[in-house]
Chain A
Amino acid sequence: MECVRVPAADLDGESSAWLSRLAAGGGERRAAEGELYARLVRIASAEVRRRSASTPVTGPELDDVAHQAAADAMIAMLAKLGEFRGESRFTTWAYRFVILEVSAKLGRHYWRNPPVALDAGQWERLPGRFGLDPVRHAESAAMLAEVRRVVEDELTEHQRRVFTAIVVDGIPLDALAAKLGLRRNAVYKVIFDARRKIRQSLVANGYLDEPGVEQR
């Protein structure tokens, strides 16, 4: 995934104008920063509203998240202005900062009023998460029992805790990452490895037919 620096001359006109204004001094730069910040606030506000159904954060706290995300994104983006390589439009590059800030802040704010505690282990809810009915279908019950056996017997303690929190209890990945002080990627990798291990066991025990479990 090679990143190639694009000469300023190859930038689209709008991106060039943004960079020129942000590189200028005095009032021109302040005006550009003000305009960009207003856009980040608008995008952050729209984004928290879009995600409101999937977070316990509500009301004025959502507005706080949006404004905090915009402010922090603005600072981070200006600090990295020299790293903009022109591989995308400038505004797309800038907006990425605020989208990622919204995710991180919603993850942290989750724990102010969490609908489920860490380590709750609500295994009875797992069938519903995958649209299975173990009461009506014995095969579903057996398969889910095998999933639980693998989680409890074959995953490491860390894998088991992460898998249970995210898949069984439905805690958002970013919220768990914030709680455990981990990067999103680190949590995702744990889940990725757990998925692969569970699937291998389900195939080996005849619950799934397809043998082709991909290896990373």
Chain B
Amino acid sequence: MSDFGALEKFLRTDPRDVGCDQAMAVLHIYVDLVAAGDDAPGRYPGVAAHLLACGPCGEDFAGLLLAVTGG
């Protein structure tokens, strides 16, 4: 990876990215799949792409996963 790695990664967009609204609409389903060890990214690739790119939605995913697995 070049010296521009972080910037390059930030600028790269994924055409599968479904955006915040669609990702958050199925977040509970996605989190249950992850918590159960199922292939959530395989079933919802657009959600997986979005969670990698969107900081706030990624935080919501992490928080909900923690709530159902650690709480």
Q: A residues engaging B (CB < 8 A)?
A: 1, 3, 39, 42-43, 46-47, 50-51, 87-89, 91-93, 95-96, 98-100, 102-103, 130-132, 137, 139-140, 143, 147, 167, 172-174, 183-185, 188-189, 192, 195-196, 198-199, 202, 207-208, 213-216
Contact = CB atoms under 8 A, between A and B. Distances in A.
Sort A-B residue pairs by CB-CB distance and give the 10 closest, nearest first: A185-B20, A199-B11, A88-B28, A130-B7, A88-B32, A214-B15, A185-B21, A130-B6, A92-B28, A93-B28
Contacts of B64: 92, 95-96, 99
Contacts of B31: 88, 92, 96
Interface in B1-36: 3-8, 10-15, 17-22, 24-29, 31-32, 35
A188 B60 CA distance: 15
Given A88-B28, A185-B21, A214-B13, A42 B8 contact: no
A87 to B, nearest CB: 5
Contacts of B13: 192, 195-196, 199, 213-214, 216
